[in-house]
Amino acid sequence: MEQESNADKTSAALRALYRRDQRPWVVAFSGGKDSTLLVQLVLNMLQELGPLASKPVYVISTDTRVEAPNVEEYLANLILQMQSFAQRSHLPVSVEMVSPLPSEGFWAQLIGKGYPSPTRWFRWCTSKMKIRPMRRCIEAITIRHGSVILLLGTRRSESPERARRMQGRERTDAGLNPHDEIPNALVSTPIMDWSTDAVWEYLLAHEPPWGGDHRQLFHLYRQAEGGECPVILDLAQPSCGGSRFGCWTCTVVKFDKSMQGFIDAGEEWMRPLNVFRDRLKAVREIPEWRMEKRRSGVLTKGR
């Protein structure tokens, strides 16, 4: 079966990479299917290594503070389960959730600074709420250890654009490439060749080491029509280009298909959030409600 040979190959590659040097690992975890698979394979590999698993592994997740509440709850529980598993198994694993500073948060930008709600062309949310908190954390780990290997759950088959970007990267013989913006961080993408079907097949057939199963994750995807705003570490990465599973305040998309998916699946309590999101988007598109003075200082004509 495709998923079994993928899993064997990926696990062997992870084992070799882990034992190759002393650089700690940082696994970027969004709570989505791909990074869940990656964390599962990494933790399984560490368990198999037993006492040889000695160098630190940090599993880092971001909470933008405006996540869809049902996804936020799912992720918070998962983080607790992973933390408790790492502790009772005596694995050198820390599982952390990072968040934007209050001054970087959605409402501070929108109400405090008067930013328009985010658009495809002015996607300030990604840099302030996702990239900065994650980078602060990675940089702190890098300062402590000198250098890190960053494991990402990106896959070629996610989109042709993703495949092109991954193709163009120069890699060392261990399949690593330097991160474009974080000094002393090398990037590894261990599941890059997995297909979406293989990811789901593996997750549904293998319970995670931290307990439970992946049925809730599968259920959330089914309701949200499958998209997600992934862990993003640089602005060049595309995000949220359609349906997604991210902030309930996201106005980057025209319609929030994932929230609508949840509502259609019976999560009626999300309807007022959806109405409010639509209003956030509509408000920025009413010219009369804008300031007469533009950011450049020029006065808008005819007002």
Residues that bind ligand SF4 (CB under 6 A): 64, 118, 123, 125-126, 129-130, 229, 239-240, 244, 246-247, 250, 252
Q: Enumerate helices (H) and strands (E) in the chain, giving the number of each.
A: 11, 6
Nearer to ligand SF4, 6 or 70 (CB): 70
User: Residues 252, 119: contact at Cβ < 8 Å?
Assistant: yes
Q: How far is the CB of 158 from ligand SF4 (least distance, A)?
A: 15
Token output for 60: 């880092």
How many Cβ atoms are within 10 Å of 46's Cβ, its own excluded? 24
Q: How far is the CB of 61 from ligand SF4 (least distance, A)?
A: 14
Nearer to ligand SF4, 26 or 66 (CB): 66
The residue nearest ligand SF4 at its CB is 246
Residues 39 and 182: their CA atoms lie apart, in Å, by 22
Strand-pairing partners, residue 188, are: 151
Nearer to ligand SF4, 40 or 126 (CB): 126
From the CA atom positions of the chain, what is the Rg in Å? Answer: 20
> To 10 degrees, the CA torsion angle through 260, 264, 267, 272?
50
Token output for 152: 């990402």
What does residue 266 show for φ and ψ, rounded to 5 degrees? 110, 0
Nearer to ligand SF4, 88 or 254 (CB): 254
Nearer to ligand SF4, 23 or 33 (CB): 33
Residues 300 and 144: their CA atoms lie apart, in Å, by 51
Q: How far is the CB of 31 from ligand SF4 (least distance, A)?
A: 12
Q: How far is the CB of 108 from ligand SF4 (least distance, A)?
A: 14
Q: How far is the CB of 297 from ligand SF4 (least distance, A)?
A: 28
Nearer to ligand SF4, 53 or 131 (CB): 131
How many Cβ atoms are within 10 Å of 96's Cβ, its own excluded? 15
Q: Are strands 25-28 and 148-151 parallel, antiparallel or unpaired?
A: parallel
Q: How far is the CB of 129 from ligand SF4 (least distance, A)?
A: 5
